[in-house]
Structure 1
Amino acid sequence: MTKNSIGTAAQLRDPNYTPALAKAIPLGIQHVLAMFVSNVTPAIIVAGAAGFGFGSNSPDFPQLLYLIQMSMLFAGVATLIQTIGFGPVGARLPIVQGTSFAFIPIMIPLVAGKGVDGLAALFGGVLVGGLFHAMLGTVIGKIRFALPPLVTGLVVTMIGLALVKVGIEYAAGGVPAKASGAESYGSLLSWSAALVVIFVTLALKFFARGMLSISAVLIGIIVGYFYALAVGMLSFDAISGSWARSAAFALPQPFKYGFEFSAAAIIGFCLMAFVSAVETVGDVSGITKGGAGREATDKEIQGATFADGFGTAIAGIFGGFPNTSFSQNVGLIAMTGVMSRHVVTIGAIFLIICGLIPKVGGVIRTIPIEVLGGGVIVMFGMVVAAGISMLSDVVWNRRNMVIFAVALSVGLGLQLEVMNVAPGAPNALQHLPDTLRILGASGILPAALIAIVLNLVLPQELADEATDQVAGGMSGNSQNG
């Protein structure tokens, strides 16, 4: 579909322009396909961390189904808030919202092994964190100085590093199989399904064009799904059973899992809201630059941040996870050149419809964990790559290297030490109160706080020393040693 067949150059750059429905609907669905897998993956990861059984006969099946359903529904609702807006809320730009990966390392310690009981505190944190996120809209322009690429790049890299382990565990057979000591864990069959997804995704990403390239991860998982059927990892009986147990239509239930205000959850979600807000600012700027050739206005940035927060808070009431703008859709707008917010509104309506039909979630739930693992490895690897890309904008002098080194060492060290200790065994944070122990276990919040504080406190004069001086000093020390 060429740009000329959709509208004139001036129309394409106008957020208020609406292409003919015959063209707008495929463009809207294209936005959904680009983010669909990434949007539902956090729900599956959190459910797995909570200890939910994934089988269609598991007593946890309805809960997993509901979390997937809410991920789709409230991604659509949050997107509508962005595209349509009300009052100062919403950028009124083609911004696609979806479940944020950034909060997963915070959510996992909150629910780990607690089943449904851990969800009350989690969603209490989502609600309060969302309201706090919305409040950031009033000051987002004033706090950006405290979050330069050194800090945001470090945090995004840490998020990816915290999640890559999940991809490997999924590809090898899943956490339940690992915990039970199943012989199938890490088998060639398990890895083969994940590798099929990875290879298909890479092939499409590098050798295909247009929609095939944009939906590479989704198509890779679909191919992996059929591979799993062919080799016996998945049966038609399991699919039909999941379909039969899923309702044709269901409305969200407010406070389904109760509500609990946990200090660890609230502090964690509020602190990560800063990172999510900065990410949204970057995405809004990318959309206006790539789609309209201009800088984003203060009103658009403020409205987008308000929508981010209120969308998250509403999701928390009904059992949905934190929402943020999806960067992959920013690239899609730059590629198609279609700036119409109404095209994204159509995609949002499609997401809402899917979220109201649990049978869609029932089919998603039947994806073998190994197949999902292949897609997760690619997605979370891209999170790390995005963080490194942000860090490429940093001037690597002695000052910035020290900040990065200390923050990364403490954050990644805590993450590796605390999260990999067997239950009941001593760990590096065992003497801290529960709230601080949960916050420190992710490694991301300690790293972010250290980077922010050092960036504000260390004198700028240190920045005058060039990288070659640092490298030369290190080389000299190694030779003297």
Structure 2
Amino acid sequence: MSTSEATAETASPESVEHDLSAVLFKRNGFPPIQDLIPTSLQHVLASFAGVITPAMMIATACGFTPDQETAIIQVALVLSGIDILLQQFPLFGRIGAGLPILTGVSFAFLPAFQAVGLQFDFPTLLGAELVGGIVAILFGMFYSKVKRLFPPLVTGTVIFTIGVSLYPTAIKYMAGGAGSANFGGISNWTVGLLTFAVVFALANFGKGVLKLGSIFFSIIIGVIVSIPFGMVDTSEVAAASWFSLPQFMPYHITFNPAACITLGVVYVMVNVQLIGDLSAASAGSMDRMPTEREIGGAIKAQGVVSIISSFFGGLPTSAFGQNVGIIVSNRVINRWVFGGAAFVFLAAGLCPKLSATLLMIPQPVIGGATISVFGTITLNGIRILVKDGLTPRACTVFGISVAFGLGIAQVAGSLTGPGMPAWVNTIFGTSAITPCAIMAIILNSVLPPEDKEAPDEKNLRPLAYNDTEDEQA
């Protein structure tokens, strides 16, 4: 048995009920179907909107026709399924992490892709995506040479920023979805808060599969509650077809140096986010940090999927922060749980009718079901951050990096004034993660180390949002 497998086998919470399959808390072994289905589907339901929404937004930015919008959503679903499978079952043992992580088309690339799509066109965006995939593969291959740039201080700071950056996303969902006609209405908040109440109750007071599948069951209840409010529309399901394959090379790929350089930098920064998500998921569910090989494999898989996606007119993939929170909260790490989620994504991409069924889920339900786990991500960032002690040096790196990252992201147009090149805002002004990560890397590299005693850590496991002090002891 490998070291990683041995570690995973000891990762089961002491509070696991006797009627729940212990194989869920191991990387290998096929769990019972009655446990596999809800634990897999809750990952799908928590991330599904995050897969299709970026595709829809890029379609709007590039002026797509309805057929083109349907095609990019289809590719997003299929590529998300492929990426998840690579991460759980690494190709040749090297392309993929082999860690509990859910990946797919996400919001991580959205701001930069929108900017490039608006400034150029979609074929140019695909060319830059192909180059970005190559950059990611190279970064994964040589990660061992640059890993010193990403100690716990840097990754913890980035994870904290990721968690805080996700809060507005959850609130927008709960309020009805940005741009909706009744955004912020009482009906949206009623459904969102009721869904949150269900997931909170199940996660903290439920037992067995109800506890581990709290997101899944809360979404089902949320959908039922939302029906009287007229939030569920089944017309798209009836109109959708049963089977459709993605089209190869639907667009002519164009290469523009400025777009390629811009997205090349963005890919590196998103890879830093991926490292942070992998660290949070691994530390929180397996009580260890990922190895060089695992991180390098995850990054290379992202690059490979990005290259494939560019040939099918799709978007690149990254890790889902909200699902990291779920993994840390329930500590379910069985690879077939994530494989089940991949199967649903693939099926939804190849079967538009299934995709339309998942699209029925109202946004307030998704927001209410996932907001709890966003706080978990932030707390995990803090736990990783203080792993080596919260020294004055660590506070300086953390405080300044977060200030730049969140400050620039929250002030619209702060990098678009007279004399400021457009590419600066494209790279640094569209996401809090990029300026935060760059600042953390720079400050950690230039500040001299401190002499300090090793902290007395009880264990590495980050606090999950439904843990009690007794369970941590």
TM over 0.5: yes
Corresponding position of 1:153:
156
1:139 aligns with 2:128: no
Distance in 2 of aligned mates of 1:216 and 1:119: 39
Corresponding position of 1:386:
380
Going from structure 1 to structure 2, the CA distance change for 1:166 and 1:281 (only over 3 Å counts) comes to closer
Distance in 2 of aligned mates of 1:456 and 1:95: 30
Distance in 2 of aligned mates of 1:233 and 1:65: 21
Q: CA deviation at 1:266?
A: 2.9
Going from structure 1 to structure 2, the CA distance change for 1:86 and 1:168 (only over 3 Å counts) comes to closer
1:430 aligns with 2:430: no
Q: CA deviation at 1:379?
A: 4.4
Which deviations, in whole Å up to 9, do the C-alpha atoms of 1:17-48 show, x marking residues without a partner?
A: x54xxx55555545522411233222344256
Q: CA deviation at 1:107?
A: 1.3
Which deviations, in whole Å up to 9, do the C-alpha atoms of 1:369-403 show, x marking residues without a partner?
A: 33333235334444333323332425222222222
Distance in 1 of aligned mates of 2:382 and 2:127: 32
Distance in 1 of aligned mates of 2:69 and 2:452: 54
Corresponding position of 1:323:
318
Higher alpha-carbon deviation: 347-356 or 156-165: 347-356
Distance in 2 of aligned mates of 1:49 and 1:115: 11
Corresponding position of 1:439:
427
Q: How many residues align?
A: 430
Corresponding position of 1:273:
271
Going from structure 1 to structure 2, the CA distance change for 1:35 and 1:115 (only over 3 Å counts) comes to farther
SS of residue paired to 1:323: strand
SS of residue paired to 1:403: helix
1:36 aligns with 2:31: no
Residues 198 and 220 in structure 1, CA contact (< 8 A), matched pair in contact too: yes
SS of residue paired to 2:319: strand
Corresponding position of 1:307:
301
Distance in 1 of aligned mates of 2:424 and 2:84: 34
Q: CA deviation at 1:438?
A: 1.5
Distance in 1 of aligned mates of 2:353 and 2:195: 24
Identity value in percent = 25
Higher alpha-carbon deviation: 61-70 or 394-403: 61-70
Q: Which amino acid aligns with 1:43?
A: V
Going from structure 1 to structure 2, the CA distance change for 1:300 and 1:44 (only over 3 Å counts) comes to closer
1:188 aligns with 2:186: yes
Residues 170 and 373 in structure 1, CA contact (< 8 A), matched pair in contact too: yes
Going from structure 1 to structure 2, the CA distance change for 1:334 and 1:194 (only over 3 Å counts) comes to closer
Q: CA deviation at 1:161?
A: 2.5
1:164 aligns with 2:158: no
Distance in 2 of aligned mates of 1:386 and 1:139: 27
Which deviations, in whole Å up to 9, do the C-alpha atoms of 1:128-177 show, x marking residues without a partner?
A: 33332222332323322211222112212222333322322332233223
Residues 191 and 222 in structure 2, CA contact (< 8 A), matched pair in contact too: yes
Q: CA deviation at 1:407?
A: 1.4
SS of residue paired to 1:176: coil
Q: CA deviation at 1:345?
A: 4.4
Distance in 1 of aligned mates of 2:290 and 2:411: 42
Higher alpha-carbon deviation: 324-333 or 79-88: 324-333
Extract unaligned runs of 5+ from structure 1. Answer: 422-426, 468-481
Residues 397 and 466 in structure 1, CA contact (< 8 A), matched pair in contact too: no
From 106, 110, 113, give the equivalent of 1:107: 110
1:370 aligns with 2:364: yes
Q: CA deviation at 1:222?
A: 2.4
SS of residue paired to 1:145: helix
Q: CA deviation at 1:223?
A: 1.8
Going from structure 1 to structure 2, the CA distance change for 1:324 and 1:39 (only over 3 Å counts) comes to same
TM-score for the superposition, normalised by structure 2? 0.76
Going from structure 1 to structure 2, the CA distance change for 1:72 and 1:211 (only over 3 Å counts) comes to farther
Q: CA deviation at 1:454?
A: 0.9
Higher alpha-carbon deviation: 154-163 or 298-307: 298-307
* Aligned residue runs from structure 1 range 410-425, under 5 A: 410-418=404-412
Distance in 1 of aligned mates of 2:226 and 2:198: 14
Q: Which amino acid aligns with 1:39?
A: S
Higher alpha-carbon deviation: 105-114 or 215-224: 105-114
Q: CA deviation at 1:206?
A: 0.9
Going from structure 1 to structure 2, the CA distance change for 1:268 and 1:343 (only over 3 Å counts) comes to closer
Going from structure 1 to structure 2, the CA distance change for 1:386 and 1:286 (only over 3 Å counts) comes to closer
1:449 aligns with 2:438: yes
Going from structure 1 to structure 2, the CA distance change for 1:308 and 1:198 (only over 3 Å counts) comes to same
Distance in 1 of aligned mates of 2:377 and 2:121: 27
Going from structure 1 to structure 2, the CA distance change for 1:94 and 1:276 (only over 3 Å counts) comes to closer
1:74 aligns with 2:79: yes
Residues 21 and 35 in structure 2, CA contact (< 8 A), matched pair in contact too: no
Q: CA deviation at 1:232?
A: 2.5
Distance in 1 of aligned mates of 2:294 and 2:184: 48
Residues 129 and 310 in structure 2, CA contact (< 8 A), matched pair in contact too: yes
Residues 173 and 364 in structure 2, CA contact (< 8 A), matched pair in contact too: yes
Extract unaligned runs of 5+ from structure 2. Answer: 1-15, 456-473
Distance in 2 of aligned mates of 1:439 and 1:322: 18
From 128, 131, 151, give the equivalent of 1:128: 131
Q: CA deviation at 1:353?
A: 2.4
Distance in 1 of aligned mates of 2:353 and 2:120: 25
| Higher-Rg member (1/2) | 1
From 202, 210, 222, give the equivalent of 1:212: 210
Q: CA deviation at 1:260?
A: 5.0
1:400 aligns with 2:408: no
SS of residue paired to 1:99: strand
Q: CA deviation at 1:356?
A: 1.1
From 213, 228, 231, give the equivalent of 2:229: 231
Residues 157 and 385 in structure 2, CA contact (< 8 A), matched pair in contact too: yes
